[in-house]
Amino acid sequence: MSLTLQNVSRVVEGETWIDQVNLSLEPGSFNVLLGRTLSGKTTLMRLMAGLDRPTKGKILMNGVDVTGVPVRERNISMVYQQFINYPNLTVYENIASPLRLAKMDEKEVDRRVRETAAMLRIDPFLDRLPLQLSGGQQQRTAMARALVKDSQIILFDEPLVNLDYKLREELRQELRALFKARNCIAVYATTEPNEALALGGNTAVLNEGRLLQMGPTAEVYHQPKDIITAEMFSEPPINVVPGRVSEEEVTFDDTVHFRLNSDLRRLTPGEYQFGVRASHIGLVPHSDDDLELPVRVDLAEISGSETFLHVHNPHFDLVLHLSGVHAYQVDQEIKVYFPTHKLYAFDAQGKMVHSPARMRDQ
């Protein structure tokens, strides 16, 4: 069972929501749709499900054109951000509902419901009503409803957003394991790069209705095709610094420059945008040719046991991702070390023209 989108667009009231997306999803694959809010993730999923019709383009399932086939005649499941269950049916009946609608034999229904409930660890609550459960358990029930029938496509529309951090991690792990053994196509929309990385599989990056890049998650992370993908696919976003490449050196401004290393020598002289990941800038030098930068602290943002340090020099702002909790005074002067070997370079159009050598090998 494969799903192919050919040149799919959706225009609503003159506004383009999805712009010529080409996408091919293989059976048994786990696909993450990564994009900011309003990037078109939900719209794309609705098109895949058959809830909406594309304005242009074709949708193929196993090579068969299903563009006009309504959702009722397709075999799909969907899990939403909200916990959608039938409020006055028990958890058992909720999970059983898709099977009952398919007129399945009662014994088989019972076997499947119990099996799926056990898999999602909600089997002790089968007699309860959804509202008597915690948020995590309600969402597990909704997931069980989606998983219990053998759908060819299962769509997850930001299913973990409304859960707390711990539950999110837990469910994310389980979800990945649940799909290992299945031969259906899973599509998972999220705004969080960390979630995409944790889920693995493939990642498709969406921005303003356009598909920017699609590929194995790690590859998209290490080899972003353009600046938007690079920015979107890291938390905190990759630092972008404008600079100029000349015959022998890279210049950020009159005072900050370094000699071209072997790594960057392939770049033709001109203006570039240089990207450096927040986790690659350090407080101590990691190699001899790290560029020392005197900066002032704007803010030390502590998140869990990590610190996002926002700093600036007269020409640009940077964010550092440091492990551990670090306290800094605002306006404190410190030195940071800029890794000249771990730079991405983007051209004037935002296309990536250079990625660090180590990343290329992976």
Partner 1 sequence: MQIKVENNKAWFLVLPVFLIVAFSAIIPLMTVVNYSVQDIFDPYTRYFVGTEWFKQVMLDSRLHEALLRQFLYSFTILAIEVPLGICVALMMPTKGRGASLALILVAIPLLIPWNVVGTIWQIFGRADIGLFGAFMSSIGVDYNYASDPTDAWLTVVLMDVWHWTPLIALLCYSGLRAIPEVYYQAARIDQASRWAVFRYIQLPKLTNVLIIGVLLRFMDSFMIYTEPFVLTGGGPGSSTTFLSQSLVQQAIGQFDLGPAAAFSLVYFLIILLVCWVFYTTIMNMQKDK
Q: Is 136 helix (H, G, I), strand (E, B) or coil?
A: helix
CB of 128 to partner 1, least distance (A): 11
As given in the structure block, the two tokens for residue 318 are 């940077």
CA separation, residue 133 to residues 138, 166, 342 (Å): 6, 17, 48
| Contacts (CB under 8 A) with partner 1, residues 101-120 | 101-102
Complex with partner 1: residue 74 or 257, whichever CB lies closer? 74
Q: How far is CA 56 from the centre of its chain?
A: 26
Cβ atoms 353, 270 nearer than 8 A: no
97 touches partner 1 by CB under 8 A: yes
- Residue of 126, 129, 198, 334 that binds partner 1 (CB under 8 A): 129
- Residue of 98, 236, 275, 339 that binds partner 1 (CB under 8 A): 98
80 touches partner 1 by CB under 8 A: yes
166 touches partner 1 by CB under 8 A: no
If binding means CB under 8 A, how many residues of this protein chain bind partner 1?
20
Complex with partner 1: residue 72 or 166, whichever CB lies closer? 72
With CA atoms as reference, report the closest residue to 155 among 44, 287, 40: 44
CB of 178 to partner 1, least distance (A): 19
| Contacts (CB under 8 A) with partner 1, residues 26-65 | 49, 51
What is d(CA 273, CA 344) in angstroms, rounded to the nearest whole number?
8
14 touches partner 1 by CB under 8 A: no
89 touches partner 1 by CB under 8 A: yes
**Could you say which DSSP state residue 290 is in?**
P
Q: How far apart are the first and last CA of the chain?
A: 30
- Residue of 6, 55, 82, 162 that binds partner 1 (CB under 8 A): 82
Q: Pattern of binders to partner 1 over 133-162, x per CB under 8 A?
A: ------------x-----------------
What is d(CA 7, CA 56) in angstroms, rounded to the nearest whole number?
7
Residue type, 200: G
What is d(CA 306, CA 142) in angstroms, rounded to the nearest whole number?
33
- CB under 8 A: which stretch of 6-14, 72-80, 107-115, 302-310 binds partner 1? 72-80
- Residue of 15, 72, 304, 305 that binds partner 1 (CB under 8 A): 72
Buried b (16+ CB within 10 A) or exposed e, 4-38: bbbebbbeeeeeebbbebebebeeebbbbbbbeee
CB of 66 to partner 1, least distance (A): 15
Cβ atoms 205, 233 nearer than 8 A: yes
291 touches partner 1 by CB under 8 A: no
66 touches partner 1 by CB under 8 A: no
Q: Which residue has the tokens 């939403």?
A: 80
CB of 155 to partner 1, least distance (A): 9
Complex with partner 1: residue 87 or 324, whichever CB lies closer? 87
Q: Is 18 helix (H, G, I), strand (E, B) or coil?
A: strand
Residues in contact with partner 1 by the rule CB under 8 A: 49, 51, 71-72, 76-78, 80, 82, 84, 86-89, 97-98, 101-102, 129, 145
